[in-house]
Amino acid sequence: MTNPKHATRIEDDIKQATFKSELSKAGINLIYTGTWLKTLHSDFFKSFGITWAQHNILRILRGQKGQTVSVNTIKERMMDKSSNVSRITEKLQKKKLIDCRQSPDDRRSVNVVITDSGLQLLKKIEDRMADINNILAHLDAEELVLLNALLDKVRSTPISQR
């Protein structure tokens, strides 16, 4: 496993010398690291004039391959389930990155599709995705497999233990 010379420790980052337990430390470290990563991603997407959540919606819509999808379906597929999808889609529509259409089946429902401008923006972002993905470049392949397995295991905690 790699051992970066300048690895930071959670103790140093949050100025806390001790923790109640390794379990407590791991929980705090996971939340702190997740927030740190989300901030880096937010700054990255801001350079393209969109937010992290807007990028998530554009990617969901691109996966529809030109077919419309309801706002409710987008919400189900969002990484951050607390996102206000209606507000975010309004902003994306103002930027002409998506097109919103009233559903022919249910007038109360709105269907959304990505525009060519939205697809072009995603292409520009993907051309620079290495900039953000390199955050993990110091981990070797074995470490990345382990990290993914551990993160999956964390999210697999039975509901009764949550």
Q: Tens of pLDDT along 22-71?
A: 999 899 999 999 999 999 999 999 999 999 999 999 999 999 998 999 88
Q: Kindly state the tokens that stand for 108.
A: 């109360």
What mean pLDDT do residues 109-119 have? Answer: 93
Question: What global pTM score does this model have?
Answer: 0.78
Query: What number of residues does the chain have?
Result: 162
CB of 116 within 8 A of CB of 123?
Answer: no
Whether 154 has a pLDDT exceeding 60, the answer reads yes
Distances (CA, A) of 41 to 14, 18, 91: 21, 29, 19
What mean pLDDT do residues 138-152 have? Answer: 94
Helices 85-94/52-62 angle, 10° precision: 80
Band of residue 148 on the pLDDT scale cut at 50, 70, 90: very high
What mean pLDDT do residues 112-126 have? Answer: 96
3-state secondary structure of 113: strand
pLDDT at 40: 92
Q: To the nearest whole percent, how much of the chain has pLDDT over 70? A: 93
Three-point CA angle 37, 84, 68, nearest 5°: 100
Residue corresponding to tokens 């959304």: 112
Whether 140 has a pLDDT exceeding 90, the answer reads yes
